[in-house]
Amino acid sequence: MAESIELPSRLGILPFRNKVLLPGAIIRIRCTSPSSVKLVEQELWQREEKGLIGILPVRDAAEPTAVGPTLSQGVASDSGDRVPKIQVGASDGHKVDGKNQHEVIHWHNRGVAARALHLSRGVEKPSGRVTYIVVLEGLCRFSVQELSTRGTYYTARISALEMTKIEMEQVEQDPDFMALSRQFKATAMELISVLEQKQKTSGRTKVLLETVPIHKLADIFVASFEISFEEQLLMLDSVDLKVRLSKATELVDRHLQSIRVAEKITQKVEGQLSKSQKEFLLRQQMRAIKEELGDNDDDEDDLVALERKMQSAGMPSNVWKHVQRELRRLKKLQPQQPGYNSSRVYLELLADLPWQKASEELELDLKAAKERLDSDHYGLTRVKQRIIEYLAVRKLKPDARGPVLCFVGPPGVGKTSLASSIASALGRKFVRISLGGVKDEADIRGHRRTYIGSMPGRLIDGLKRVGVCNPVMLLDEIDKTGSDVRGDPASALLEVLDPEQNKTFNDHYLNVPFDLSKVIFVATANRAQPIPPPLLDRMEVIELPGYTPEEKLSIAMRHLIPRVLEQHGLSSAFLQIPEAMVKLVIQRYTREAGVRNLERNLAALARAAAVRVAENEKAVPVSKDVHQLTTALLDNRLADGAEVEMEVIPMGVNNHEISNTFRIASPLVVDEAMLEKVLGPPRFDDRETAERVAAPGVSVGLVWTTFGGEVQFVEATAMAGKGDLHLTGQLGDVIKESAQLALTWVRARATNLQLVAKEEINLLDGRDIHIHFPAGAVPKDGPSAGVTLVTALVSLFSHKRVRADTAMTGEMTLRGLVLPVGGVKDKVLAAHRYGIKRVILPERNMKDLAEVPAAVLASLELLPAKRMEDVLEQAFEGGCPWRVSSKL
Ligand code: ADP
């Protein structure tokens, strides 16, 4: 590359079809056509000094109208003042290169002067045609003034287009030019780096940037990559240096970007290829192994089945979209890959959920519903009435947002079975969700799927189990939920029970909303008090008190015994439990508010009878005689008097008779001896209270627990000490304070009560007091033991026994006033159960007795107490003999 080139005024022209040779570029061409061979021969080959030729771009004919060569205008705007005069030897034009005479040749008006770096001459055999191979280097731009033919090739009168040295120096000072050249160099450098990185070469190209003048570099760079003919022409026409540089920067940058994009695509494609190839290979292997094992249930088939299941699940469209996305993800995973299983279990759940599936609601027949409730449950008149009202409202307005019914009462009073009766009255399915002990919000709402072992919450799980979206859902033991660090289940339940919010219940595991609005919720609780107020606010509490022994008897005779017999495959032909025995079971074996233990004990009796019948079937005697039943098992089970006779039919009679064989001649009738044999010795008896209060210092209280009312003994004893008070029996703060209060009251009135001879004597002088509440493992709290504590202490200090037939309840103030307490009904029922005859109650609680069944009231003497003295008066035989009536 010479620094400055002396261009002759005329140059032999080599036309380049749709191609441009830029200055600085090197090209190798093979000349075969007569005209170009002639040109090379005359202008380059035969010259002694190195000759130059002009390379002029020629555009292919676009339109066949004009005949003869035309010279097209330069595209670049900077050539305005150098518009060539076009004189073309039209007559010879068509002969050039031997082209078709009708072909239009569009000559470009600018070209590049080139010199031959290398020349080689060849002779083709056998034709003897001469050809040249020329390596040309582009030198500098020129513009064509006039084009003419010389023999077979063209020549042109030209003028140089490159700047002079002075012009160049001027431009180089131009700040625009400087900025442009910096930008160009930076882009060029980047391109070089990328290329070098790609080809893992380094070094040499960068040197170019430092040594070659910038205007030449622009041409060299652009010439080195493929661009369109139009762009090549544009570059050729960029005579102005600034235009050339900015054009070159643009082209280099584009090239750089295209390399980068190409690289990215290659990487991606390579990655995918290798991954999918690997997957394919593994799949093939797996298939082969499965085939070998004869295990053909293909995983893919499973997924297809899953997809089909999902399609028929009737999901809402937003859920469907979500599920589709998840399924696509699953399809890409291999079964062994982490996440496959969890994703699949998740989709299975979504497919199983009853999005739309509902049990058809029957036309509600209130009369039938009432009959159903009556036939399932004895008594409970008010509760049943309320349920009928609830159903009536639903009948009139099916989508009524009535309150959620909440049955509150001790265990075994029929809360669950009432809820299930509601379901069957409505013809809906029934599902029970146990909330007892739920402390974690996630139990209700589920764990997010990011957790290992995450699961849906209990509600969604229940719905999946029941398989319809409109069941009656029992939220069992709603009072047993508690909150701790893991969130507040009650707040989640609030959302569930709120008709506004439960349309879009959000289970964390599901992660899509589920409509709970069609579910009928019913709740149960042992006590209403622990239920958080906002939750309680959404519910209508229906209290179910415990049953009286008489009610229990009726329930047992009408409902429990037939049910138990049926459950054990028996009938009254096999087993009869007389009323008197049921009464004994109620009195001696079960002292509960409900009937659950009663049912359990009856079931135990039924089991014993079932064993007898089953044993009987095996032992087929051969004579028709009546035998005494003496199996080893029954020896164990039954008392001597409980032996029964049975009818046996000899072998060999016809089949029909055999099938009806082994009927027991007379049914097994339960008696006391059998009760003890099967249920063990009685757990409770009427003498218990008398025995326990046999010594002074014990009184009988009535308390309220989650199991309903209970009798609670209070024991007090004194021993040598320093006047301390010891309390045991898992007592809460309130009850401890009550004990302190009771002791203070007794000490303050020790003289009046004639517990000490003189006022100055300290009642606790030299002794400690210990108060114990038996059933030491059961936590106790509440203020209602106040009067019982005082009674026990007075009994202790006076050495007088408390009446065994009297129980009491009531809170006491420091001044000795008796305040009303809660749960009176349950407490009175409990006293009745324990065979207590007299109950001392706060006077203000007397009104609560209206709720107690009349039969119970009739069997009890109820003694109102206003002040502590009234209690003491009633608690001791013959009244409180130590009372100085006026002063107390
Ligand atoms: P809860 O849910 O209150 O703990 P359940 O509903 O489980 O009690 O009742 C326990 C058993 O007692 C059930 O078999 C139920 O049918 C029976 N039961 C309770 N109350 C009655 C009643 N009034 N009439 C008939 N059976 C009853």
DSSP 213-258: -HHHHHHHHHHHS---HHHHHHHHH--SHHHHHHHHHHHHHHHHHH
Q: What is the structure's pLDDT at 651?
A: 38
| pLDDT higher than threshold 50 for residue 627 | no
Q: What tokens were used for 792? A: 């026990």
Segments of 604-724 assigned E as strands:
627-628, 645-646, 668-669, 698-705, 708-720
The residues annotated as belonging to the active site are 784, 827
Q: Rounded to whole angstroms, how far apart are CA atoms 420 and 431?
A: 8
| pLDDT higher than threshold 80 for residue 271 | no
Tens-place pLDDT, residues 330-359: 888 777 777 888 888 899 999 999 998 888
Q: Rounded to whole angstroms, how far apart are CA atoms 228 and 234?
A: 10
Segment 380-384 long-range contacts (CB within 8 Å, at least 24 positions apart): 380/414, 380/418, 380/544, 383/407, 383/418, 383/542, 383/544
708 lines ligand 1 (CB under 6 A): no
Query: Taking the CB of residue 12, how many other CB atoms lie within 10 A of it?
Result: 21
Which residues on adjacent β-strands are paired with residue 865? 842
Is 459:433 a contact under the CB 8 Å cutoff? yes
**740 three-state secondary structure:** helix
Tally the C-alpha atoms within 13 A of residue 343's C-alpha that lie toward its C-beta.
20
State in Å: Cα 609 to ligand 1 middle. 23
Q: What is the structure's pLDDT at 67?
A: 39
Range in 76-80, 100-104, 725-729, 742-746 with the lowest mean pLDDT: 76-80
Tens-place pLDDT, residues 652-661: 333 333 334 4
Q: What is the structure's pLDDT at 62?
A: 53
| pLDDT higher than threshold 50 for residue 473 | yes
Q: Rounded to whole angstroms, how far apart are CA atoms 802 and 784?
A: 18
CA-wise closest residue to 594 among 706, 485, 690: 706
State in Å: Cα 595 to ligand 1 middle. 7
Over pLDDT 90: what percentage of the chain? Answer: 17
**768 three-state secondary structure:** strand
321-340 burial: b if 16+ Cβ within 10 Å, else e: ebbeebbeebeeeeeeeeeb
Mutate which of 548, 552, 596 to test ligand 1's pocket (most atoms within 8 Å of Cβ)?
596
Tens-place pLDDT, residues 421-432: 888 888 889 999
Segments of 588-662 assigned E as strands:
627-628, 645-646
- Alpha-helical (H) ranges within 781-884 are 786-798, 824-833, 854-859, 868-875
Query: Taking the CB of residue 624, how many other CB atoms lie within 10 A of it?
Result: 11
Residue 613 has phi, psi (to 5 degrees) of: -65, -45
Q: What is the DSSP letter of 559?
A: I
Tens-place pLDDT, residues 836-878: 899 999 999 999 888 788 888 888 999 999 999 899 988 988 7
Instruction: Beginning with the edge strand found earlier in the chain, give each strand of the sheet holding 520-525 in spatial order.
Output: 430-434, 472-476, 520-525, 404-408, 539-543
State in Å: Cα 417 to ligand 1 middle. 6
The residue type found at 307 is: E
Positive or negative torsion for Cα 463, 466, 470, 476: negative
Instruction: State the average pLDDT for the chain.
Output: 80
Q: Rounded to whole angstroms, how far apart are CA atoms 196 and 216?
A: 21
Q: What is the structure's pLDDT at 484?
A: 66
Q: What is the structure's pLDDT at 98?
A: 43
Read off the pLDDT band of 284 (50, 70, 90): confident
| pLDDT higher than threshold 70 for residue 459 | yes
Q: What tokens were used for 280? A: 């394919």
State in Å: Cα 708 to ligand 1 middle. 15
Q: What tokens were used for 365? A: 């027949």
Instruction: Name the closest-CA residue to atom 19, ligand 1.
Output: 414
| pLDDT higher than threshold 50 for residue 95 | no
Number of helices followed by number of strands (H, E) in the chain: 31, 28
Read off the pLDDT band of 609 (50, 70, 90): confident
**459 three-state secondary structure:** helix
Q: Containing H/E element for 515?
A: none
411 lines ligand 1 (CB under 6 A): yes
Higher-confidence position of 45 and 633: 45
Q: What is the structure's pLDDT at 682?
A: 83
State in Å: Cα 559 to ligand 1 middle. 10
| pLDDT higher than threshold 80 for residue 715 | yes
The residue type found at 48 is: E
Q: What is the structure's pLDDT at 743?
A: 92
Positive or negative torsion for Cα 422, 424, 425, 427: positive
State in Å: Cα 646 to ligand 1 middle. 35
Instruction: Name the closest-CA residue to atom 5, ligand 1.
Output: 414
416 lines ligand 1 (CB under 6 A): yes
| pLDDT higher than threshold 80 for residue 280 | no
Q: What is the structure's pLDDT at 196?
A: 79
Is 56:72 a contact under the CB 8 Å cutoff? no
Q: Rounded to whole angstroms, how far apart are CA atoms 505 and 469?
A: 13
Residue 865 has phi, psi (to 5 degrees) of: -130, 130
**599 three-state secondary structure:** helix
Q: What is the structure's pLDDT at 72?
A: 52
11 lines ligand 1 (CB under 6 A): no
Atom of ligand 1 nearest to the CA of 411: 4
State in Å: Cα 674 to ligand 1 middle. 25
| pLDDT higher than threshold 50 for residue 631 | no
417 lines ligand 1 (CB under 6 A): yes
Tens-place pLDDT, residues 361-419: 767 788 888 888 888 898 888 889 989 998 888 888 777 677 889 999 888 999 999 99
**Distance from CA of residue 572 to its chain's centroid?**
52
Higher-confidence position of 666 and 216: 216
State in Å: Cα 413 to ligand 1 middle. 5
Q: What tokens were used for 21? A: 């040779």
State in Å: Cα 861 to ligand 1 middle. 30
Mutate which of 417, 430, 478, 544 to test ligand 1's pocket (most atoms within 8 Å of Cβ)?
417
CA-wise closest residue to 834 among 708, 692, 688, 734: 688
Q: What tokens were used for 374? A: 């009556």
Atom of ligand 1 nearest to the CA of 476: 2
**335 three-state secondary structure:** coil
Q: Is 543 exposed, middle or buried (0-12, 13-18, 19+ CB in 10 A)?
A: middle
**DSSP string computed for 9-56:** SEEEEEEEET--PPTT-EEEEEE-SHHHHHHHIIIIIS-SSPPEEEEE
Atom of ligand 1 nearest to the CA of 419: 6
Instruction: Name the closest-CA residue to atom 22, ligand 1.
Output: 377
709 lines ligand 1 (CB under 6 A): no
Atom of ligand 1 nearest to the CA of 563: 14
551 lines ligand 1 (CB under 6 A): no
| pLDDT higher than threshold 90 for residue 91 | no
Peptide bond into 499 cis (omega under 30): no
Is 109:84 a contact under the CB 8 Å cutoff? yes
Tens-place pLDDT, residues 221-243: 888 878 888 888 988 988 888 88
Q: Rounded to whole angstroms, how far apart are CA atoms 484 and 474?
A: 24
413 lines ligand 1 (CB under 6 A): yes
Instruction: Name the closest-CA residue to atom 15, ligand 1.
Output: 414
Residue 582 has phi, psi (to 5 degrees) of: -60, -40
Mutate which of 595, 597, 707 to test ligand 1's pocket (most atoms within 8 Å of Cβ)?
595
| Top-confidence range, 534-548, 663-677, 803-817, 842-856 | 803-817
Q: Rounded to whole angstroms, how far apart are CA atoms 114 and 126?
A: 32
Is 405:390 a contact under the CB 8 Å cutoff? yes
592 lines ligand 1 (CB under 6 A): no
Q: What tokens were used for 255? A: 């090239």
Segments of 39-123 assigned E as strands:
52-59, 70-72, 106-108, 110-123
**842 three-state secondary structure:** strand
Taking CA atoms, 637 is separated from 399, 629, 642, in Å, by 56, 12, 9
